[in-house]
Amino acid sequence: EPLTVKELAGKLGREVSEVIKKLMMLGVMASINQEVDLDTATILAEEFGVKVEVLPPEEDPTEIPEIEDDPGSLLPRPPVVTIMGHVDHGKTSLLDAIRQTHVTATEAGGITQHIGAYQVNYQGKKIVFLDTPGHEAFTAMRARGAQVTDIAILVVAADDGVMPQTIEAINHAKAAKVPIIVAINKIDRPGANPDRVKQQLAEHGLIAEDWGGDTIMVPVSALKKTGLADLLEMILLVAEMQELKANPNRPAYGTIIEAQLDKGRGPVATVLVQKGTLRVGDIIIAGTAYGKVRAMVNDRGDKVKKAEPATPVEVLGLSDVPQAGDILVAVDDEKKARSIAEKRLAKKRSEELQQAQKVSLDDLFKQIQEGNIKDLNIVIKADVQGSVEALRQALVNLKNKEVRVNIVHGGVGAINESDVMLASASNALIIGFNVRPDANARKAAEAEKVDIRTYRVIYDAINDVEAAMTGMLAPEY
Ligand code: GDP
């Protein structure tokens, strides 16, 4: 916590004027109520002959301290991939085609298990695919603080081209800073036109390598199962450049991919182990659930005793059903796990009563003044593309010394749930022009505390944002 000059003088038992003078000698011009950072305060105290001891920050009883991994302990790990794209462009077909051609089922009858993610073995290397395609699930997890995806595969149908959800997916991946590989699908179709897809993607900042850009684009057909090997090869190439690593020799850390209550088996959760190794018998905590790993099942239906980094496994033995996006960690003490889980539950309940602090036009100025906001992130939805562009231009130009305006996403159509989740994950507000939120979006916005503003006059929208940025917004009654 930074102290003001006055508080600092009090602690040092000196006159304020003495402290200010000393600060001036150190080259810091400060007034009585100004805050002094820790480094300056330390030097200052030492000048007065006082030894400063920096206390470690107080422990949050609901947090489990992160284990720092020694760089020498890190070993290469497989990449984790999410498939995104417009509806009907072939996301599910592509996931299935890859699964059928590159996963050997070991279970009797040769059926692979659907546990929310699967691992592919290609030329001796592994790749993990998350089984829920689409950017909605991806961003919902991100809104909960989980980042599991290393690479996004953007599926674009060669006969249909770039569509609204294609653009959404691009922006969601960009907001998460996840590299994109484009799979141009349905090249078997008579109307397929990969060049047109490339041209449309270029308009959205994805320029194909053969066009002088750096986005890898692979023509595939999920139906005919062609181009899949090329796609897997490109995933491995991009993964290699990312130098993905994890320490397998430490307590497990992972993310819940999906979870449900099974009638016979109790709470069942699929966890993607990201660091360390999860073992049967480990004491675990995931969100507000805890327990001891009773059994684990992999994506092929095999019972396993351990799961290393980038391995998805179904875990049995939790006390409760965690939420997708919850972080799972292995701890050494069951009592402690239980106590942390209970404290988290209590905290969650009280937080649900209060409002989570998200950006809103009403308190934007205050948040800017307090230094909480340096970037004002906005999602724009409008009835026509021309309005999206007009708003984008005008809003970006509102930037001032304190804040920069970023348009996280701009699209045509009603404000939907995915817009709200993106806004939540990026702490953005949503501006709608001649469009309204649909019922799901309204519900999500309420739960996520996302501010949605709708306008019928562009000038009003710009005016409101500008007024909010400068603290001149008239209160809404
Ligand atoms: P999703 O909504 O993106 O998951 O799309 P689906 O995987 O459900 O595919 C939508 C439709 O496109 C289905 O009828 C598929 O059979 C069809 N489809 C998917 N991939 C291909 C392909 O490569 N070629 C052709 N001709 N059809 C495909």
CB–CB of 61/55 below 8 Å?
no
Atom of ligand 1 nearest to the CA of 93: 7
Cα 157 to averaged position of ligand 1 atoms, centre (Å): 8
d(CA 157, CA 189): 9
Cα 90 to averaged position of ligand 1 atoms, centre (Å): 4
Question: Which protein residue has the closest C-alpha to ligand 1 atom 11?
Answer: 88
Token pair for residue 285? 């905590």
Token pair for residue 475? 């209160």
Q: Would you mind telling me the total number of residues written for the chain in this entry?
A: 477
Cα 86 to averaged position of ligand 1 atoms, centre (Å): 11
Say if residue 92 carries a ligand binding annotation. yes
CB–CB of 458/393 below 8 Å?
no
* 170 C-beta neighbours (distance < 10 Å), count: 24
CB–CB of 143/425 below 8 Å?
yes
Cα 100 to averaged position of ligand 1 atoms, centre (Å): 15
**Nearest alpha carbon to residue 79 among 122, 112, 113, 111:** 122
d(CA 134, CA 308): 26
pLDDT for 31 equals 83
Say if residue 135 carries a ligand binding annotation. yes
Cα separation values, 323 from 174, 273, 347, Å: 25, 15, 16
Exposure on the CB side of residue 259, measured as CA atoms within 13 A: 28
Contacts of residue 455, Cβ cutoff 8 Å, sequence gap at least 6: 431, 432, 433, 434, 461, 464
Contacts of residue 246, Cβ cutoff 8 Å, sequence gap at least 6: 69, 74, 75, 77, 274, 275, 276, 309, 310
Ligand 1 site-directed mutation target among 83, 88, 225, 231, most atoms within 8 Å of CB: 88
Question: Which protein residue has the closest C-alpha to ligand 1 atom 6?
Answer: 90
Token pair for residue 111? 């059926």
Atom of ligand 1 nearest to the CA of 133: 4
d(CA 159, CA 170): 19
Atom of ligand 1 nearest to the CA of 185: 23
Backbone angles phi, psi at 457, to 5 degrees: -130, 125
Say if residue 90 carries a ligand binding annotation. yes
pLDDT for 110 equals 53
d(CA 41, CA 48): 11
Cα separation values, 265 from 269, 285, 315, 317, 318, Å: 11, 18, 10, 9, 10
d(CA 442, CA 58): 38
CB–CB of 139/421 below 8 Å?
yes
Bridge-based pairing state of the strands 266-275 and 253-262: antiparallel
Atom of ligand 1 nearest to the CA of 97: 20
Ligand 1 site-directed mutation target among 82, 88, 93, most atoms within 8 Å of CB: 93
Say if residue 416 carries a ligand binding annotation. no
Report which secondary-structure segment, H or E, holds 233: helix 228-242
**Nearest alpha carbon to residue 64 among 310, 330, 275:** 330
* 374 C-beta neighbours (distance < 10 Å), count: 9
- Classify the complex by whether its ipTM is higher than 0.85, answering yes or no: yes
Cα 139 to averaged position of ligand 1 atoms, centre (Å): 23
CB–CB of 166/95 below 8 Å?
no
Low-confidence ranges of the chain (pLDDT < 70): 1, 56-59, 104-112, 351-357, 473-477
Report which secondary-structure segment, H or E, holds 83: strand 80-85
d(CA 346, CA 271): 24
Report which secondary-structure segment, H or E, holds 124: none
119: β partners: 128
Say if residue 121 carries a ligand binding annotation. no
pLDDT for 57 equals 62
pLDDT for 357 equals 57
Residues within a 6 A CB radius of ligand 1: 85, 87-93, 133, 185-186, 188-189, 221-223
pLDDT for 354 equals 55
d(CA 68, CA 60): 18
